[in-house]
Structure 1
Amino acid sequence: MGHQISRRTLFRTASGLAVAGALGSSLSACSGGTGAGSTSSDLTMTWWGSDDRHNAYKKALKYFQEKNPKIKIRETYSGYEGYFDKFNTNVAGGSAPDLLQMDTALVAQYARKGVLAPLDTYVGKSLDLTGFSKTLLAAGTVDGKLYGVPSGIGVNQLTVNRSGLEKLGLKLPDREWTWADLKKIAQQVYKKSSGKIYGVDDGGGSTLQCFEIFAREKGETFFSDDGKKLGFTPDTLQEWWEYWAEMRKTHASPPPAITSAAHNDLTKNAVVIGKALFTFDSGVYGAGGSITDAQLDFLPTPQGDWSGAREGNFVNGGVLLSATKASKKVADSVKIMDFFAQDETAIKDMQLYRGIPPTEKARNLIASGLTETDKLNMANADYISQRVSKATNALPAPVPPPQGADQIWDLLFQSNLAVAFGKKSIKAQLGEFFDQAPGILSA
């Protein structure tokens, strides 16, 4: 996917996190070795994605090489599965690519292990980041240095089966909606469908699209700034699980069997199989298109409806382009980053295949060629981005996930299921969660 990091993407990313940790010592040991660019006259570039993303990259890079004949690019690409396993192997063996597509969830770990090259000395010179907001650039910034150029605006949003809502005589909620509004319309969906359709998939175990926003609305973060502990309180998680327990009880959300079956299997998502009309899983619609025939629309994650609630939404960087520190072609890699960031031909070639473009200039360039659903998606991302930038009570963008984040995310998901299946009370599961989490983060 390009424009969001969904729960599905995060758990695919988990394998990369685990391998990055397992190879920590070897990555550090080899970080000063010879990169692939050093042993070849070609600049090596790698990325993951769908066939559409592959074709868009190849088309844009062909144009780049026509304009820069001295830079020869050797391209490699694949799906996400195994991408970082291969990258880790190449780094450890001294054959890392010169330029790569990097995951925002992993950039901090690779930067701190000395694998990635800092880009700050190029900014304002050969790397033009005009139009990129500071909030967006934070997605590629680690310990005050820039290690990756964001490809686009990543936002947390709900994907909505709008045509399904309309068939039930219901209207799409206003973008300035709250958690209470979500509960109300989700209950209406169940009632209007005579119990055939639930309102929204169970978000009690969903991290980025759901709980992290809720915690931020309480003025709390998911992880502490140093990544060594949780940033939210037991009271906040208890309130969260109580909300979703009520959602299940009133049939606003589906039973746990549906939630469990959809874990890591997007084809079983409640919206995709017609069992719900709202989902927090952004993978239902992404750079590869939609996996449902329903007319989709998009909404921000709901706002807090209590006194003193803060803006919980934030903007992240989609995917990044990063250079490896061992490469002798960092300057040339930066020219390619600049090309994708600012060149009109590259922007038009990439469309939404790396996410919603990061600048207003880029978004305006591609707007006329988008499908109706693409336009709705981009409009919602624009809306969230503008709202966040104007908010005076928003927390800073989250820090990159620490080592062990994948285990914490899975613990949250499984804990919510344990409550939903009636295996544990909320109080008992809270105790277990906060007993286990510190050990995971300190390991």
Structure 2
Amino acid sequence: MGHQISRRTLFRTASGLAVAGTLGSALSACGGGTGAGSTSSDLTMIWWGSDDRHAAYKKALASFQKSNPKIKIRETYSGYDGYFDKFNTNIAGGSAPDLLQMDTALVAQYARKGVLAPLDSYVGKALDLTGFSKTLLAAGTVDGKLYGVPSGIGVNQLTVNRSALEELGLELPDREWTWADLKAISTQVYKKSGGKTYGVDDGGGGTLQAFEVFAREHGETFFSDDGKKLGFTSETLQEWWEYWADMRKANASPPPAITSAAHNDLTKNAVVIGKALFTFDSGVYGAGGSITDAQLDFLPTPQGDFSGAREGNFVNGGVLLSATKASKKVADSVKIMDFFAQDETAIKDMQLLRGIPPTEKARGLIASGLTETDKLNMENADYIAQRVSKASNALPAPVPPPQGADQIWDLLFQSNLAVAFGKKSIKAQLGEFFDQASGILGG
């Protein structure tokens, strides 16, 4: 059991954003998505996840219904693939669920289409969000209104094969490390392994999380607040690609063939196949457990090592619980949200299956029952969250990604590969990237 967060579990989120591309047509079929909602007398709730997450939700909801016998819950759950396809179909047919698990990458699109119910009028009353930071709540906030309650702390981190690192006689870097430190230890890994293992997988394009942190260290965001353009400059992206070109040249990162093969396929991730010891937050260790037998550990994304560098790391909200605007049972849905946010039974039942719990109280309740790897994961997330909260120079939390974000992320990946394979110079690829990105966001 573990967790993988975010807005940014790219290997599922990008596909989710593509699915959301059908949202506009689905809504037009039902007059804007504000139809009758579920016609059942039961409250309908849907979510996606692993079998462990399904079992935990069902156990917690059984406890809720014992205390709230008048609220009958009809549960529907599945894997992530097809989840939003079905949701869109239900919206179009006027049978949207009352309560759903929502992806932070999609909340803005559904909120702006009128699908989700704003929750602000319930906060401090039926919905107790004591202990939730403003930064965390930003993950469910769109245009100043709250449309989803975050399930946990999501952070951008590196997952490390610690056992293999120690076998090479190397120590885990300090959490206050920099990009220069990452290059140094990655180069050492290659040398100490006799050229058999690279240090870190190539973050130049496929790792949105890493670049977003890097841009924020430069005082820039990935997208503008209105989502109509990119928030970072050509100079920042050039610096980023030059860093990774140097990493590949130094054999600190693997060649592009390995990077390309791992795109959207975690089983071919460089750490999983033994070709690297560090990987960016990619799902190697997730809600379904680890897909490698190695002893893992975790580190924050490195800090900027230049004068005036800002705190680039940030906290996001895992998955969300949201109510649909068409529902006649929003108040009852809010009771369930409050239950998962604050009830000790629910917190203990869910453990890390919706991410690292969002409050200090909740994290304290589950700490004693965690595996060693889970404890290391939660400690790192706590460390990042505390550092971000204390930073005076951190930017506000990122806005939810706009329509077309999935295309931008894929463009970033493919652009980095073009440079890595030597098909394009960095300068030529920069011009092409910004031209295409402008067309995607402005189209």
Q: Report the TM-score range of the alignment, normalised by the length of the smaller protein.
A: over 0.9
CA apart distance, 1:282: 3.1
**1:199 aligns to what SS in structure 2?**
strand
Aligned partners of 2:339, 2:154: CA distance in 1, in Å? 20
CA contact (8 A) 1:189 1:252 kept: yes
Gaps of 5+ in 2: none
Residue 209 of structure 1, CA deviation: 2.1
Aligned length: 443
- Native 8 Å contact 1:11 1:264 kept in 2: yes
Taking the aligned partners of 1:37 and 1:364, their CA distance within structure 2 comes to: 38
Deviation (angstroms), 1:21: 3.0
TM-superposed CA distance for 1:263, in Å, is 0.3
CA shift at 1:2, angstroms? 8.0
**Shift of residue 421, structure 1, vs aligned partner:** 0.6
Q: Do the aligned partners of residues 203 and 243 (structure 1) sit closer, same or farther apart at CA in structure 2, a change above 3 Å counting?
A: same
Q: Secondary structure of the residue that 2:9 maps to in structure 1?
A: helix
Find the aligned partners of 1:15 and 1:300 in 2 and give their Cα distance.
26
Distance 2:207 2:177 in 1: 20
User: Could you tell me whether the CA contact under 8 Å between 2:206 and 2:263 is conserved in 1?
Assistant: no
How far off is 1:281 after superposition?
Answer: 3.5
CA 1:306–1:242: 2 relative to 1, 3 Å:
same
Contact 1:298 1:377 in 2 (8 A): yes
Q: 2:126 & 2:277 partners in 1: Cα distance?
A: 46
Instruction: Mark the runs of 5 or more structure 1 residues left unpaired by the alignment.
Output: none
Structure 1 pair 330/155, CA: closer, same or farther in 2 (3 Å)?
A: same
Q: Is the 8 A contact 1:31 1:326 kept in 2?
A: no
Check conservation: 1:147, 1:322, Cα contact below 8 A.
yes
Deviation per residue, 1:301-329 (Å, 9 max, x gap) = 00000000000000000000000000000
Q: Tell me by how many angstroms 1:5 deviates.
A: 4.1
- In structure 2, do the counterparts of structure 1 residues 437 and 32 end up closer, same or farther at CA, with 3 Å as the change threshold? closer
Post-superposition Cα deviations, 1:58-104, rounded to whole Å, max 9, x if no partner, equal 00001111111111100000000010011001001101110000000
- For residue 191 of structure 1, report the CA deviation from its aligned partner: 0.3
CA shift for structure 1 position 431: 1.2
Q: TM-score, normalised by structure 2?
A: 0.97
In terms of mean alpha carbon deviation, does 6-15 or 97-106 score higher?
6-15
Q: How far off is 1:39 after superposition?
A: 1.1
- Structure-2 change in CA distance of 1:36 and 1:167 (3 Å): farther
Q: Is 1:5–1:282's contact at 8 Å kept on the other side of the alignment?
A: no
Distance 1:14 1:395, change over 3 A: same
CA distance in 2, matches of 1:421, 1:244: 12
SS in 2 for 1:299: strand
CA distance in 2, matches of 1:38, 1:168: 58
Alpha-carbon offset, residue 13 of structure 1: 2.5
- Hey, what's the Cα distance between the residues in 2 that align with 1:217 and 1:85? 36
| Correspondences of 1:32-431 after superposition (within 5 Å) | 38-431=38-431
- Rounded to whole Å, the distance in 1 between the matches of 2:428 and 2:247 is 20
Preserved contact between residue 310 and residue 394 of structure 1 (Cα < 8 Å): yes
Q: Do the aligned residues in 1 keep the contact of 2:7 with 2:13 (CA within 8 Å)?
A: no
Question: Which range moved further: 354-363 or 280-289?
Answer: 280-289
> TM-score by structure 1 length?
0.97
Q: Is the 8 A contact 2:33 2:113 kept in 1?
A: no
| Residues 307, 199 of structure 1: alpha-carbon distance in 2 compared, 3 angstrom cutoff | same
CA offset at residue 31 of structure 1? 6.2
CA displacement at 1:255 relative to structure 2: 0.4
Name the CA shift for 1:440/1:37 in 2 (closer, same or farther; >3 Å).
closer
Q: Using a 3 Å threshold, how does the CA distance of structure 1 residues 189 and 54 change in structure 2: closer, same or farther?
A: same
